A and B are shown apart, each in its own frame.
Chain A
């Protein structure tokens, strides 16, 4: 197995009339398969993997503890009070749901728009989506207090003749998020099937063969398989596309349909969607940078991929900044006393520090991505993406907590201070995400093997390069193109 030296070749420039290479260094398909499968097939993952996994696992154990403590004691162990009845729980929920959106955008919308660079990052962006939605789903589940009655969230006929309130966005949220999870999982899994078959065929151990074999659903790579696969994938992409917009719109309705100043805003759906994609792409960069470094994927997740993602972060960051500005403008323009107060209070009230963290991380620092030097600098983009993650977490905190803490009636104002259980649950969700993601890195191909081959020049049936690399006629594709049946 020959390894391809990983170096940061700059493929970010564009030469007119020529497509920029998205796969560097690999001269044939087999090398690509080898590179992608290596992290799954080595006996031992890198030491950094063990360290990260250990930390994440500790956080998951902590999550198990705080969640049990919460269930056995009651939601009073959180720092909630009246009027701040939502704080870290819903902040974390919205944060994690938002993270997922980049995965769906990459896998569905970029697919439909034929953005070929998506193939390098779509697999683990989709995995990130699924794990983020799992983390998100945890919070509404535990914040109901009596978790054994969480099934009341769903409209199931019952002896109480009791139904969820169909006019409430909280119920739409249940539908939106569960649909999102189902479709994302299906999409991810369908994309995985050919690669799982590759893993099965390469596997040495019986257990691996059985496991990959079971989940690859008997894929043998026949023409008919590929035909149906492409159809299914296209249909799922079409199904997922509206979800990119709808899920976070519905999440924003949880706030926007209420009458609370600071929540009651028509800009919320597009603002939330832009914020979701913003935070999601930042998370993809945060994960991609160390992953490509650790697992030797630099030639497949190239600087060009990262550069493109940073451009998306810049654009959506500007949208989010515009939304922040517009909220203030509308607060002033509406002339509504409470609205004006809500926003002045946000920027200069008791949570001003959180507001300015949010503005600095979401609006100011991403502006550095205007410079190509920053967009293509690995350390800088990693730091900036971390800033965006922090900023977007604070955005949800600011929206939720500042609006609730200082509502219409000064006599009911209060201050939310998180308890150790709040913080433990938040960190625990990160741990859960980390464990799931690290297991994914270890056991599943991080890059869509079959798809990424499709963006190589070798995938073009008329590609003539086989002659140079292998000698004429050594490959059926070459033989095929040699006949030159172009008509």
Chain B
């Protein structure tokens, strides 16, 4: 009986098999590193909100302070989303018949809150404290980006655990005097590195990276 052998052309397939085998571990590593990141999975998440509220107009143009609406940010872990009453403080006077505000007026009359869609959502096993960051000089912009330039808010940062840790391990580029936290420009443009290092010392900033710092 003649011996069965694969034809000669099948030798050409061998390099491909070897290349695939060699690349596979690298591919898996890259897939986990980049594919599983919120940068990839969520990107710049920008849901359509029930009311076309423009941060660019209210904050950027009119100069509204962040705390006017998100009033608990300095004292609580949670930065409050304002009730309809806050909107109506002004909108009973200004643009009080605007068709863009139908839902706001409706909510004001019925008492049912507007269902804003949360953009910056962390896992429920991660405990972020706004007050702890804001009162020590970590500005809103570090996590939320230039909200004062956003027509519709989107996620400016990945909010990945590795991204949190980058700052927790080396906060020097992300701090400013606590009284300036609501100013939304880069701290590195205004304060020198030495000044920022001084701030870290003065404000007693020593962020932990223990698991239990955020996962309680």
A213 touches B6 (CB 8 A): yes
Residues of A within 8 A of B1 (CB): 201
CB distance from B103 to the nearest CB of A (A): 36
A159 touches B4 (CB 8 A): no
Residues of B within 8 A of A151 (CB): 32
| Alpha-carbon distance between A235 and B4 when the two chains are bound, in angstroms | 30
CB distance from B123 to the nearest CB of A (A): 11
Return the contact of A218 from the options B6, B38, B158 (Cβ within 8 A). B6
A160 touches B32 (CB 8 A): no
Residues of B within 8 A of A157 (CB): 29, 32-33
- A203 in the interface (beta carbon within 8 A): yes
Residues of B within 8 A of A158 (CB): 32-33, 36-37, 162
- B28 in the interface (beta carbon within 8 A): yes
A213 touches B5 (CB 8 A): yes
B6 touches A159 (CB 8 A): no
A159 touches B162 (CB 8 A): yes
- A1 in the interface (beta carbon within 8 A): no
- A52 in the interface (beta carbon within 8 A): no
A214 touches B28 (CB 8 A): no
B33 touches A156 (CB 8 A): yes
A160 touches B6 (CB 8 A): no
Return the contact of B33 from the options A159, A200, A209 (Cβ within 8 A). A159
Residues of A within 8 A of B39 (CB): 159
Residues of A within 8 A of B5 (CB): 213, 218, 220
A159 touches B158 (CB 8 A): yes
A214 touches B6 (CB 8 A): yes
A161 touches B165 (CB 8 A): yes
- A162 in the interface (beta carbon within 8 A): yes
Residues of B within 8 A of A160 (CB): 160-162
Secondary structure dominating the interface of A: loop
Task: Give residues of chain B (124-174) contacting chain A, Cβ–Cβ below 8 Å.
Answer: 158, 160-163, 165-166
- B95 in the interface (beta carbon within 8 A): no
B4 touches A209 (CB 8 A): yes
- B3 in the interface (beta carbon within 8 A): yes
User: Quick one: closest A residue to B32, CB to CB?
Assistant: A156
CB distance from A321 to the nearest CB of B (A): 43
| Alpha-carbon distance between A227 and B100 when the two chains are bound, in angstroms | 83
- 8 residue pairs bridging A and B, Cβ less than 8 Å apart: A156-B33, A157-B29, A157-B32, A159-B37, A161-B166, A201-B4, A210-B4, A220-B3
User: Quick one: closest B residue to A156, CB to CB?
Assistant: B32
| Alpha-carbon distance between A203 and B161 when the two chains are bound, in angstroms | 57
Q: Count A-B contacts at CB 8 Å.
A: 48
Query: 1/0 per position for A75-105, CB-CB distance to B under 8 A?
Result: 0000000000000000000000000000000
| Alpha-carbon distance between A203 and B3 when the two chains are bound, in angstroms | 10
User: Quick one: closest A residue to B209, CB to CB?
Assistant: A161
Residues of B within 8 A of A213 (CB): 4-6
Give the interface of B toward A (CB within 8 A): 1, 3-6, 28-29, 32-33, 36-39, 158, 160-163, 165-166
CB distance from B130 to the nearest CB of A (A): 22
CB distance from A285 to the nearest CB of B (A): 37
| Alpha-carbon distance between A210 and B207 when the two chains are bound, in angstroms | 62
| Alpha-carbon distance between A452 and B73 when the two chains are bound, in angstroms | 79
Residues of A within 8 A of B163 (CB): 159
Residues of B within 8 A of A214 (CB): 6
| Alpha-carbon distance between A210 and B7 when the two chains are bound, in angstroms | 11
Residues of A within 8 A of B32 (CB): 151, 156-158
Known: A158-B37, A200-B4. 15 other contacts (CB 8 A): A151-B32, A156-B32, A157-B32, A158-B32, A158-B162, A159-B39, A159-B158, A159-B162, A159-B163, A160-B160, A160-B161, A160-B162, A161-B161, A162-B161, A209-B4
A161 touches B162 (CB 8 A): yes
CB distance from B32 to the nearest CB of A (A): 5
B38 touches A159 (CB 8 A): yes
Query: 1/0 per position for A29-46, CB-CB distance to B under 8 A?
Result: 000000000000000000
Residues of B within 8 A of A203 (CB): 4
CB distance from A83 to the nearest CB of B (A): 21
Residues of A within 8 A of B162 (CB): 158-162
Given contacts A159-B38, A161-B161, is CB(A201)–CB(B3) below 8 Å? yes
| Alpha-carbon distance between A481 and B204 when the two chains are bound, in angstroms | 90
CB distance from B149 to the nearest CB of A (A): 26
User: Quick one: closest A residue to B30, CB to CB?
Assistant: A157
CB distance from B157 to the nearest CB of A (A): 12
CB distance from A154 to the nearest CB of B (A): 9
User: Quick one: closest B residue to A202, CB to CB?
Assistant: B1
A159 touches B3 (CB 8 A): no
CB distance from A18 to the nearest CB of B (A): 39
| A-B interface, 9 closest residue pairs, ranked by CB to CB distance from nearest | A161-B162, A159-B37, A160-B161, A159-B160, A209-B4, A157-B33, A156-B32, A161-B165, A159-B162
Residues of B within 8 A of A200 (CB): 3-4
Residues of A within 8 A of B161 (CB): 159-162
Query: 1/0 per position for A127-169, CB-CB distance to B under 8 A?
Result: 0000000000000000000000001000011111110000000
Residues of A within 8 A of B37 (CB): 158-159
Highest count of chain A CB atoms <10 Å: which of B1, B5, B38, B158: B5
CB distance from A344 to the nearest CB of B (A): 38
| Alpha-carbon distance between A214 and B37 when the two chains are bound, in angstroms | 39
Residues of A within 8 A of B165 (CB): 161
| Alpha-carbon distance between A159 and B38 when the two chains are bound, in angstroms | 8
Query: 1/0 per position for A164-196, CB-CB distance to B under 8 A?
Result: 000000000000000000000000000000000
Residues of B within 8 A of A218 (CB): 5-6
User: Quick one: closest B residue to A200, CB to CB?
Assistant: B4
Query: 1/0 per position for A277-288, CB-CB distance to B under 8 A?
Result: 000000000000
Residues of A within 8 A of B38 (CB): 159
User: Quick one: closest B residue to A155, CB to CB?
Assistant: B29
CB distance from B102 to the nearest CB of A (A): 40
| Alpha-carbon distance between A157 and B37 when the two chains are bound, in angstroms | 11
CB distance from A163 to the nearest CB of B (A): 11
User: Quick one: closest B residue to A204, CB to CB?
Assistant: B1
Residues of B within 8 A of A161 (CB): 161-162, 165-166
CB distance from A20 to the nearest CB of B (A): 36
User: Quick one: closest A residue to B25, CB to CB?
Assistant: A156
